[in-house]
């Protein structure tokens, strides 16, 4: 716990067998809940996770990165988490910074905290491909312009959220693909949640997960589309459930969890939509 708040660490996993143990070994002891959601991996991710003592949830088919996160957050909330930190199990981000990210949320400094690879100026030294660095800087500038905030980057997979954020955002309106991350931050800005950043080193290596050039282009176009939708919605030119308080939210109460069958049915409904 931190400041009396229960901290959950969630890991959306797909074929993370080779890097999972190194990731888990660096998770601080303050984490009350440790959850891995496996998105129908083809390797031994689930077996390794169970050996390491993680709470494991398995998808019976691949639901995508966004669908995986929905399960991560739903299960963390069901377990009673007050602060939820997402870290990828590919060891690209060090879990040693979980304490810093979670503390800023637990002490109500921010509602959302991002582990930024850009602030420290070491992204390229950590192995980030040059084309990804350039696209990161371009997309971030584009988003800052239209979202009216000033973040160093929107594309990190290292994030901490308060329970309030995860229960109030209409997360079921978002894509099951990689652009889910970006849509979620656009929602945070729209609904007025406070966003902070912590400098985070990154390391790219063969075993670390990374989307290829084609999917990077698809992601970039999705980011630009999300940003323009945000602007058009705020200007009153379109109305989107993603930015509406009536949009579909994760159906987890503060005091009781959904039964496993209800969780599965909700997950399937999100995948169909």
The residue written with tokens 């689930």 in the block is: 46
Write the CATH number of the domain with boundaries 7-262: 3.90.550.10
pLDDT at 141 over 60: yes
DSSP string, 85-151: EE--TTSSB-GGGHHHHHHHHHTTS-SEEEEESSTTS-TTTTT--HHHHHHHHHHHHHHHHHHT---
What local confidence, expressed as pLDDT, does residue 127 receive?
84
Q: Is 237 exposed, middle or buried (0-12, 13-18, 19+ CB in 10 A)?
A: exposed
CB neighbours of residue 221 within 10 Å = 11
What local confidence, expressed as pLDDT, does residue 210 receive?
61
Lowest mean per-residue pLDDT among 34-38, 153-157, 207-211:
207-211
Q: What is the mean pLDDT of the chain?
A: 91
pLDDT digits (tens, 9 = 90+) for 156-188: 999 999 999 999 999 999 999 999 999 999 999
pLDDT digits (tens, 9 = 90+) for 11-47: 999 999 999 999 999 999 999 999 999 999 999 999 9
Distance, CA of 57 to CA of 175 (rounded, Å): 20
Distance, CA of 155 to CA of 115 (rounded, Å): 10
Residue 99 near residue 87 (C-beta atoms within 8 A):
no
First to last CA, the chain: 36
CB neighbours of residue 261 within 10 Å = 8
pLDDT at 200 over 80: yes
pLDDT digits (tens, 9 = 90+) for 34-84: 999 999 999 999 999 999 999 999 999 999 999 999 999 999 999 999 999
Distance, CA of 88 to CA of 13 (rounded, Å): 7
pTM (2 d.p.): 0.89
Residue 185 near residue 158 (C-beta atoms within 8 A):
no
Distance, CA of 19 to CA of 93 (rounded, Å): 11
Percent of the chain topping pLDDT 70: 90
Query: What does the block give as tokens for 172?
Result: 């079921």
Lowest mean per-residue pLDDT among 12-26, 102-116, 173-187, 212-226:
212-226
């Amino acid at each position: 716990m931190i400041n009396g708040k229960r901290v959950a660490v969630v890991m959306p996993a797909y074929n993370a067998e080779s890097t999972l143990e190194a990731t888990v070994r660096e998770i601080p002891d303050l984490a009350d809940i440790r959850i891995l959601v496996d998105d129908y991996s083809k390797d031994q991710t689930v077996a390794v996770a169970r050996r390491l003592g993680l709470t494991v949830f398995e998808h019976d088919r691949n639901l995508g990165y966004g669908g995986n996160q929905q399960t991560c957050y739903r299960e963390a909330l069901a377990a009673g988490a007050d602060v939820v930190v997402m870290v990828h199990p590919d060891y690209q981000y060090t879990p040693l910074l979980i304490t810093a990210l979670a503390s800023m949320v637990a002490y109500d400094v921010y509602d959302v905290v991002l582990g930024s690879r850009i602030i420290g100026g070491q992204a390229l030294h950590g192995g980030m491909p040059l084309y990804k660095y350039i696209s990161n800087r371009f997309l971030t500038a584009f988003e800052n312009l239209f979202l009216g905030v000033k973040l160093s980057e929107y594309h990190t997979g290292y994030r901490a959220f308060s329970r309030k954020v995860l229960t109030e955002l209409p997360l079921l309106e978002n894509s099951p693909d990689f652009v889910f991350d970006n849509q979620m931050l656009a929602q945070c800005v729209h609904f007025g949640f406070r966003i902070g950043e912590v400098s985070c080193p990154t390391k790219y290596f063969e075993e670390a997960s990374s989307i290829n050039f084609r999917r990077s282009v698809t992601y970039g176009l999705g980011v630009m589309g999300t940003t323009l939708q945000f602007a058009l919605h705020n200007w009153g030119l379109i109305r989107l459930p993603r930015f509406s308080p009536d949009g579909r939210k994760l159906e987890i109460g503060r005091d009781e969890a959904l039964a496993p069958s209800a969780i599965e049915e909700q997950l399937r409904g999100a995948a169909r939509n």
